[in-house]
Structure formats: C-alpha cells, structure tokens
C-alpha cells in the first residue's frame, strides 16, 4: 500500500543559513505514528514547512498517498510549535474552523471529542480563559478532526512542565489509539518519542540528514510501567548512543 506521506531526498537551504535539509527521505504509513528526533536547529520544523507546502523544497519530492504535492498547501493538518488558537473565537469555534475551511462541519463530533479530553463546559470559553495544557488540547483536537489524512505535530508539549507533559502524552496516546490517524511528530525528547511512536527517525545536526531509523516494537496500549521496562531502556540507550555518534561525526 502507498505510504500516507513520503519524502524523497528533500533538500533545502536558506540564504542566511545555507544548507538546512541535506537529502531527507522518510515516510509514514497509514495509521502509523512516526517521530522525528533531532537537535535544536537541525531542520525539523523546516521539514514540516515543506510537507505543509509553506516552503517549496529546492530538491526532492513529497508524495501524499502517491500524489506529488511539492509546494501545495491544504493537504495536511498541522499543529505548530506554538498553539495557534484564534483569540476571538470560542473553543468550539476554534475546532470547527479547520472543518469550515474544508466545507464540512460536524458540531456534535467536535463536542464529543472536546468532552473526551476533559473540556466539556469550555466549549464557549475563549483561549485566554484556558491554561497552556488546555490550549494544547484544543489545538490537538482541531488537528485530529480536520479532514486531512495526516497530522503533523511540532513539539506540541515542549512548553509544558514535566507533570503536565506526561499527562498530555498519556492522553494523546489514548486518543490516538482510538482514532489511529497517521501522525508525524517532532520532539527532541527520546523518551517521549519512544513512549508514543511506532517508528523513530533520528536526524543529524544541521544540515539534517537521517542518521538512522528505529522500530519501536512495544505493545499497545502503552502504560506508565513501560518507562521502566528493560526493552524500553535498551532502546533508549541505543537511540542515545546513535545520537551521540551523530554529533561526533559532525564535529570531525
């Protein structure tokens, strides 16, 4: 079967920075959760911008379900690094926005999912009345319920404290395991990537290339206990080792 999304040898440079993406190839299969990990400034968000069509890559191709979409917008639901709710719209209307843009709204579906993430009673609240974690949940539900076949999540939890972050990860998993939408997730946290993903793509420092891919053969549904599991810790060591090695190669 065609991959949901496939990047083939994507290259991109910025005038100010020079080469940022150095031949990135990766894919996400239908219903798969794939994480990209890499150091800060390596080019992760730039990869998302090329997939979302905000940037046209200099070289290489991007395929959505087999169709080439270089430079095309509107194909992807995207949750950017900073939650981007419209302050003048209520929670309900912020989530409905993505569906409105696609010309297909389902208010009862939106209400159901808001309730599942603990936001019933907040449908008519405005973003400034919500905590950081609640805003993230609204932005996530918006991405989840938009009609596009794949979600890009760019470090959605990096601004949250450790406790809230872990709650959000567990919550994201529960929701995702129910809906199984294809996800490409950016993080620089190895543990987060392991806990959530089916597969992890490790990037080098800038200019980014794929150093290695790791399958995460851990059973679902995943629980807290997994974090202390031998296989989990073994994979964590392996990825950490590969990451260190990637950095060393870069500096020689």
Ligand X SMILES: Nc1ncnc2c1ncn2[C@@H]1O[C@H](COP(=O)(O)OP(=O)(O)OP(=O)(O)O)[C@@H](O)[C@H]1O
**In terms of CB distance, is 54 or 86 closer to ligand X?**
54
Ramachandran angles phi, psi of 14, nearest 5°: -110, 150
Q: Write each residue from 123 to 162 as x if it is in contact with ligand X (CB under 6 A), else as -, in one continuous string.
A: ----------------------------------------
HSE (side-chain half, CA atoms, 13 Å) at 129:
11
Q: Does 45 bind Mg ion (CB under 5 A)?
A: yes
**In terms of CB distance, is 66 or 71 closer to ligand X?**
71
What's the CA gap between 64 and 52, in Å, rounded?
Answer: 11
* Only segment of 41-49, 57-65, 71-79, 235-243 that touches Mg ion (CB under 5 A): 41-49
**In terms of CB distance, is 84 or 112 closer to Mg ion?**
84
Q: Does 42 bind ligand X (CB under 6 A)?
A: yes
Q: Does 188 bind ligand X (CB under 6 A)?
A: yes
What residues from 194 to 233 belong to the interface with ligand X (CB under 6 A)? 206
Q: Does 16 bind ligand X (CB under 6 A)?
A: yes
Residues 6+ apart with CB under 8 A from 108: none
We find the least distance from the C-beta atom of residue 42 to Mg ion, in angstroms, to be: 9
Query: By C-alpha distance, which of 97, 171, 99 is closest to 133?
Result: 171
Q: By CB neighbour count within 10 A (0-12 exposed, 13-18 middle, 19+ buried), where does 98 fall?
A: buried
Residue 67, classed as helix, strand or coil, is: strand
In the complex, the residues that contact Mg ion under the rule CB under 5 A are: 44-45
């Amino acid at each position: 079967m065609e991959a949901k999304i496939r990047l083939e040898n994507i290259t991109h440079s910025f005038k100010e920075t020079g080469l940022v993406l150095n031949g990135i190839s990766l894919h996400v299969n239908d219903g798969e959760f794939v994480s990209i990990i890499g150091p800060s400034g390596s080019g992760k968000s730039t990869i998302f911008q090329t997939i979302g069509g905000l940037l046209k890559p200099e070289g290489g191709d991007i395929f959505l379900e087999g169709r080439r979409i270089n430079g095309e917008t509107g194909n992807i639901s995207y949750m950017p690094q900073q939650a981007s709710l419209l302050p003048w719209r209520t929670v309900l209307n912020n989530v409905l926005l993505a569906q409105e843009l696609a010309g297909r709204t389902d208010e009862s579906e939106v209400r159901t999912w808001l309730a599942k993430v603990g936001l019933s009673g907040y449908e008519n609240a405005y973003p400034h009345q919500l905590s950081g974690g609640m805003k993230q949940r609204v932005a996530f539900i918006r991405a989840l319920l938009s009609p596009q076949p794949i979600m890009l999540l760019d470090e959605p939890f990096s601004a949250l404290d450790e406790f809230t972050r872990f709650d959000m990860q567990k919550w994201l998993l529960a929701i995702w395991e129910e809906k199984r939408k294809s996800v490409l997730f950016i993080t620089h946290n190895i543990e987060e990537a392991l806990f959530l993903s089916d597969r992890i793509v490790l990037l080098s420092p800038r200019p980014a290339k794929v150093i290695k891919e790791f399958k995460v053969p851990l059973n679902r549904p995943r629980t807290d206990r997994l974090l202390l599991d031998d296989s989990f810790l073994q994979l964590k060591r392996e990825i950490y080792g590969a990451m260190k090695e990637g950095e060393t190669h870069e500096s020689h």
